[in-house]
Structure 1
């Protein structure tokens, strides 16, 4: 996928209304097997939030009594109110601490559940493989590792913040309505009385501020979406250098890698400067709004104070209640940055979820069926590329138990793709592949996967290391000319970097001798071995696994003598290949 098309996809995801997609992301956890504990924790958090609002109401009432006592120089009331404030503050602290504690616990529980669910979907049906092949989603690792964290954290904080703001609003709006009293002003020849006038001022102030903040900060959603993608692309480039350090060093490719990394970082920098410019304007607006809100209620309520309609305590109570109402009405303003981050994260997760679902529901052109009489059959099999370009057409084949088949043909004709189709991970094409129901298939590609961990775990993969004894592991290492590695069995390392390509291929053969599959596929699995070692590996397979059905893809004629039949890919110009029986190469 080109950079422009990926950008177009990102823009489409960021702008598409996704109410249903948002609900599909949030809902499953709350109806899952974790629902009872999750709801109990959420209810406890809500109760604590309501308790915090109640304490805030009590402190607001305390303001009037305390400041009236100051104005009237009433020392006994002043002292009593200090004690009252002490226990109100202690209760507030306890409620606030445990609200945060339970919220963090619920967030981690939710994140763990969603991480397991998303990882399961991504790994199921080889979705991780197909999404990369089709390039329909970028940086899935980041979406699982980071975006799920943001989703759970911000969904809880924003929703609980909104709930707290609504409860605060309804709790203090009545107080503000009564303590502010009416305001009478002349409009032309008419005198108009506005009851609870401070409520209307708070509402007008918050609405105008929210509209201003939304207008200034709206571009942050798309910029945040792009920033996450650019950061992930840059990290992926760094990881690629680590994974391919040997080849890059041999090519002396450092200048080219530096240029590519520099270009990727330039996109981060450019987008970041755009975020900075929007954030600067947003901070100007929010800081002006927040600072002016401190003095605004005092200015509006000052005429009633100086006229003697209210005392100092009433003025402070009005200022406090106005601040609570205005703060509640300003939830959107205070949460705008978090909302922009949350929305960009939701867009990315919704896109990831849709891409994985698309793979799961993608119709299979190649049918896989269970065979009873033969280990492997191909029935009018055709192979296509994901874009529909034909690779192979009309393949027919039947293998018997113990057959050893060599597949040859020019590079790029589809030999490895045929093995992927037999493995069930290549759905593009038509026809059918039959595999014996109880068959234990093992595929050894040119470059086998070696997990990070102990050599024992790498040798046993994909089985558990506990399934094999030390004697079995030592024996296959010695047979595959890897005796020098026996002392490292329980050493953890990145063995794909510590072992040479030849050692890695011999390790793959050792796996085959351990697992003892009924059908073994070798895809250029000896390309890094010298002739003598290659002959040894094939001799081991023939001697140790005499009943295995062996299918080899190879370019070297030297391995032909270990096979009984040969099928050759042949194709004309601009024509899909055909698979036909051919004499074994001399």
Structure 2
């Protein structure tokens, strides 16, 4: 059976011209700040050593080109003079020069690739550490401050380090080549005299000035034609990453899509995402065609340009054939060195787009770090560790919860009510609470009222709101409705966040039996994507088995039994109560059967509701106005 979607998903609006212009900015200072840290890092000695070796090999290649230039002059003079003895000797000499060139070129490529990987390894480690540190990865996803961090870590970092080295080595090679050959070209080209208005103008080293003028004109035209490619390449990477993300998401959710018969809708969505790729690619094609036209014409005309300019002196007898060929070779070297910008522009465009994406990613990480470390972000929920080692309670003081709003806080929020700051929408009125060891709390209320937000705040990953949470030096474990199962062996998934070998096989087998998953014991060493292999109920029971391994002092269950039948749900709760008698258990649940395992209740009520379901009045402060939607009452 097939279905047809009622509406066609079309690509979003085209990127505004201003956004494309912003993405095309050079941002040189920020790019330099991205390059420099590695060369000051703990790996700088090895990196600088490899860089020095690569530079030396580049200089060696330039020296070989100088020898070849001189060889050209002597070789073609020998041909012109029909000197067969010199001809044979020069061929032998060429063989040695060519062999040295090959050895140097291979060595340069090898050690440059080695340096690229060292630099990429260091930058990847640094970005990953900062992305995962202070829950920056979580905060970035909440605020949508950047897209596809996986693509930036995998592709943009590779392109940035590879491009930076290849472009810088190319620039160095061009500078050294220019220095080496400009003197040769100046001497061999000699002066040229031009008649202007009855007087004669003599230009010394005229071929040098022609080479400079030719390269400057070509560079200006190339930049004018090709600059939009930076922004288009930026967008192309973004659209490609979005398309890959949708494909991966479809693969991970293949079963529910199949059950919904959602193939047509998914296909329409994928086609819409690919249409963005195609449209942006069409623009890339147009600008690349113009750039290729400029580059090809520039390169082809450069072949005959020096011969045309030097021909008058050759035909007048002032130049030998060897001298003409030496001028042609030297002009090519000088013009090629001056044309580094033209020749490298396509590579430079892709590299700059990757650099801009990394700069944006780094800025998003910095914002997330600042929110966590200095509370300068859109919220001021402060989570601190208790200084009283005898106090093992979790204490909540004046905690008001909010939801993030895109756009973030204003530039100056000083003195503004924290629950009314720009960048967040107030949700729950401030309340205070103390959760002691061994207590059993049931948290309930309407869907969307902020129950899970409370758990996130207690975990220290939710900054939106206001208040203070004091936590003891005790182990806290949070079991969400959909537990995270890393790709790896079943032992890895069961032991997470510990390593799979952190617990004995006997311990792993024992908790699986206790969680009614004994049939999985034989699969402990099987590598798989277990989130796709286990049913939702099995995944939730695996999370309970994980709790038995971790033995937390505070166990938070966020609808952690929603996929279980009532009998299995009761068995899991009894297992927790009996196996972890001293642990505090705090549960979010809607089923009345869960209430039997708790003796305290935290109930969310809409603002304006005068009582809870049992008829009792509110037990905690109700915020008058303030834009909040819910308040919290406590029942003992």
TM-score (norm 2): 0.89
Whose helix fraction is larger, Structure 1's or Structure 2's? 1
Offset from partner CA, 1:57-105 (integer Å, 9 cap, x none): 1110111111101101112221221111111111111111101101000
Superposition deviation, residue 386 in structure 1: 1.3
| Residue equivalent to 1:391 | 427
Instruction: List aligned pairs for 1:397-546, cutoff 5 A.
Output: 397-436=433-472, 438-546=473-581
**Matches of 2:26 and 2:529, distance apart in 1:** 44
**Matches of 1:46 and 1:216, distance apart in 2:** 32
> CA 1:16–1:207 in structure 2 vs 1: closer, same or farther (change >3 Å)?
closer
**Matches of 1:159 and 1:491, distance apart in 2:** 47
Asked if the contact 1:402/1:546 (under 8 Å) is kept, the reply is yes
- Of 598, 605, 612 in structure 2, the residue corresponding to residue 570 of structure 1 is 605
Offset from partner CA, 1:234-292 (integer Å, 9 cap, x none): 11111110121111111111111111110111111111111111111111111111111
Q: Are 1:376 and 2:391 counterparts?
A: no
Superposition deviation, residue 114 in structure 1: 0.4
> CA 1:214–1:156 in structure 2 vs 1: closer, same or farther (change >3 Å)?
same
Instruction: List aligned pairs for 1:160-175, cutoff 5 A.
Output: 160-175=169-184
Superposition deviation, residue 18 in structure 1: 2.0
Asked if the contact 2:31/2:359 (under 8 Å) is kept, the reply is yes
Q: Are 1:191 and 2:200 counterparts?
A: yes
Asked if the contact 2:401/2:430 (under 8 Å) is kept, the reply is no
Instruction: List aligned pairs for 1:69-468, cutoff 5 A.
Output: 69-362=78-371, 363=375, 365-371=380-386, 372=388, 373-387=391-405, 388-436=424-472, 438-468=473-503
Asked if the contact 2:431/2:632 (under 8 Å) is kept, the reply is yes
**Matches of 1:474 and 1:6, distance apart in 2:** 54
**Structure 1, 507-516 or 357-366: larger mean CA deviation:** 357-366
**Matches of 1:86 and 1:337, distance apart in 2:** 34
Superposition deviation, residue 522 in structure 1: 0.2
Superposition deviation, residue 20 in structure 1: 2.3
| Residue equivalent to 2:411 | none
Asked if the contact 1:375/1:519 (under 8 Å) is kept, the reply is no
Superposition deviation, residue 374 in structure 1: 3.4
**Structure 1, 462-471 or 87-96: larger mean CA deviation:** 462-471
Asked if the contact 1:404/1:564 (under 8 Å) is kept, the reply is yes
Superposition deviation, residue 220 in structure 1: 0.7
Offset from partner CA, 1:407-437 (integer Å, 9 cap, x none): 111100000000000000001111111111x
> CA 1:511–1:232 in structure 2 vs 1: closer, same or farther (change >3 Å)?
same
**Structure 1, 393-402 or 5-14: larger mean CA deviation:** 5-14
Name the SS for the 2:215 alignment partner.
helix
Name the SS for the 2:160 alignment partner.
helix
Offset from partner CA, 1:181-228 (integer Å, 9 cap, x none): 111110111111111111111111111111121121121111111111
**Matches of 1:234 and 1:467, distance apart in 2:** 38
**Matches of 1:345 and 1:122, distance apart in 2:** 18
| Residue equivalent to 1:580 | 633
Name the SS for the 1:393 alignment partner.
strand
Asked if the contact 2:607/2:631 (under 8 Å) is kept, the reply is no
Structure 2's unaligned 5+ residue stretches are 1-10, 406-423, 609-626
**Matches of 1:5 and 1:446, distance apart in 2:** 38
Superposition deviation, residue 516 in structure 1: 0.5
**Matches of 2:357 and 2:290, distance apart in 1:** 26
Name the SS for the 1:361 alignment partner.
helix
